[in-house]
Structure 1
Amino acid sequence: MSIPSFSTASIKTSDGVTLRYISAGPANGPTLLFIPGWAQTAIQWHKQISFFSNDFRVLAIDHRGQGDSEQATGGYRISRLAADLNDVITQLDLKDAVLVGHSMGCSVLWALWNTYTASRSRIAKLVLVDQTPVMIGNPAWEDGLAQSLGAVFSPTAAYEVAAGLIAPDGVAVATGLVKTLFSPRLSEADFAWTMQQVTKMDTKNASTLFVNHAGQDWRDVLSTITVPTLVIGGELSLFFKSIEWTAKQIPGAKSKIFGKDEGGSHFMFWENDEGFNEALAGFLKD
């Protein structure tokens, strides 16, 4: 697999952690910032970085402990990742930025929006890629509610995944989990490269972050979003049933679902980059 080479730089977070980010495109162009999901990396957006860097200043970050960012000793929770993202936005003095979050990256965006209200004025648009606002179903809920919200984990199942990640075969557990997020048509080479990215994160830190991420409930934040928003999902994704519901909670939001025959997995931006880039480009022009 041929991976393009991009410029990289770093910032230091408010608690002293070095975060690496990719930078491409004209420095004075409109800003497009990609935020990866749990145990994912900035370079996994390379198909989008290459496509949009002719017209945009394209940035993609590595969360702490992921990719090429510092393996911090702590801070593996959504609230800290949102603080890190806010550090990126403010230190780079981003304005009128379009923020694109995938999976856990959506939760980081929701935390940013909810907590760092002064930075809302720096955001022009949001793109939320395949994430339910609530991952763990409450056993006390009425029948069918968890499924309709895409709350695919029970409390027990979420903690079992976390425990598996720190077991001696933790990498195998991570591999099995990530495998479910792609369609069967993904090549072995692509999956192997993906796992190279995933395993850059220490499994203990990955376990801690997984539990914190899974335990959040962002439903009350959705209605407060006041910028144009696109919600993207895939028919093959575990979170498929939550996509339209999520879009309806955000005032004026649009949605785009990639079907089974369109590479509509959790990673549709990888499996159908042409379709994903087209959808994103259309939203950017609106």
Structure 2
Amino acid sequence: MASNFITTPDGVRLRYWQEGPTSAPNVVFIAGWVQTAAQFKKQVAHFKSKFRVTTYDHRGHGDSDKPAFGYRVTRLAADLESLLTQLDLTDVTLVGHSMGSSVIWAHWDLFPHDRIKKVALVDEGAVITADPGWTPEQAAEAGTVFPDGQRFELTKALRGPEWKAAWEGLTRSFFSPDVAAADIEWTLEQQMKTPREIAAALMVDHAAMDWRDVIPRIDVPALVVGARCSLFPAAGLEWIGRQIAGARTVIFEKEENGYHCMFWENPEKFNRILEEFLLG
């Protein structure tokens, strides 16, 4: 596996990895909040024989630099643009999980689309924090996770003395109750490479975004993946699928390990539907 760094215009080194034939179609996996590139190891192992697979750690995450600035989704989108241009990746399929989907939306909003061939959006709502005036049905369709103001309660907990318990509780909610304890331990080890102050700052920004005006403007083939038992309502992923012309929407059911990290708990189905999309 090739591994190196790019350096962003504001001087931050981002660690990236590449596997697969250099002449094969490009796929870039974009991790979620506090997740590292390693979270996609089951996808890299599957796709590297047919595709040029690129993964990377966001600033503040994993093996990338951890400066005291830049923890906004728009800055992460600019980092993605630096990755695409410096590695000269073309005809790329972007696969974003959770906050990684928001990074795709921010990139679509801010930068040219000429390098992007397809997008796969995995379990992220268009609006994470609900408007207090919304009905429960409106909140679900928007894909919300937090009632108004709750994102500040989470970030306060991450900055407080019981931060490890708060972090572990949130991480456990990403998986099914039957997930192996070793998987949770490994995931927490990866996540906690992000300093908690960075995690809190990024969550405040991430949870404040509203991407509903961006999503309908996506005009490349799209795959939308949700999960029936995820903290993100499936109705919100179905709404996203209806906004993008020709998009395919797949919802993992409970018996299919349909939780937020379904790509980890049911990689067989996830890799199959993603490969169908990539080859279609």
Unpaired stretches in structure 1, ≥5 consecutive residues: 1-5
Aligned to 2:7: 12
Aligned to 2:256: 262
Percent identity for Structure 1 against Structure 2: 46
Q: Does 1:72 align with 2:70?
A: no
Aligned to 1:23: 18
Q: Does 1:56 align with 2:61?
A: no
Q: Does 1:246 align with 2:236?
A: no
Aligned to 1:271: 265
CA distance in 1, matches of 2:138, 2:225: 21
CA distance in 1, matches of 2:135, 2:269: 37
Instruction: Give the C-alpha shift of residue 157 in structure 1.
Output: 1.3
Counting only pairs closer than 5 Å after superposition, residues 202-221 of structure 1 correspond to structure 2 as 202-221=195-214
Q: Does 1:163 align with 2:163?
A: no
CA RMSD of aligned residues (A): 0.9
- Whether the 8 Å contact between 1:222 and 1:246 is mirrored in structure 2 is yes
Residues 67-114 of structure 1: per-residue CA shift (max 9 Å, x gap): 110111110010100000000011111110000000000000000000
Letter of the 2:244 counterpart: I
CA distance in 2, matches of 1:268, 1:8: 26
Counting only pairs closer than 5 Å after superposition, residues 36-47 of structure 1 correspond to structure 2 as 36-47=31-42
Instruction: Give the C-alpha shift of residue 191 in structure 1.
Output: 0.6
Q: Does 1:124 align with 2:117?
A: yes
Aligned to 1:3: none
CA distance in 1, matches of 2:249, 2:12: 35
CA distance in 2, matches of 1:166, 1:85: 28
Instruction: Give the C-alpha shift of residue 207 in structure 1.
Output: 0.2
CA distance in 1, matches of 2:172, 2:49: 33
Residues 16-37 of structure 1: per-residue CA shift (max 9 Å, x gap): 0000011111112110100000
Letter of the 2:95 counterpart: V
Instruction: Give the C-alpha shift of residue 273 in structure 1.
Output: 0.5
Letter of the 1:284 counterpart: L
Structure-2-length-normalised TM-score: 0.98
CA distance in 1, matches of 2:11, 2:93: 26
CA distance in 1, matches of 2:177, 2:136: 31
Structure 1 residue aligned with 2:279, among 256, 260, 285? 285
Q: Aligned with 1:105: secondary structure?
A: helix
CA distance in 2, matches of 1:226, 1:144: 27
Number of residue pairs matched by the alignment: 279
Instruction: Give the C-alpha shift of residue 143 in structure 1.
Output: 5.1
1:251/1:187 CA distance change after superposition, 3 Å: same
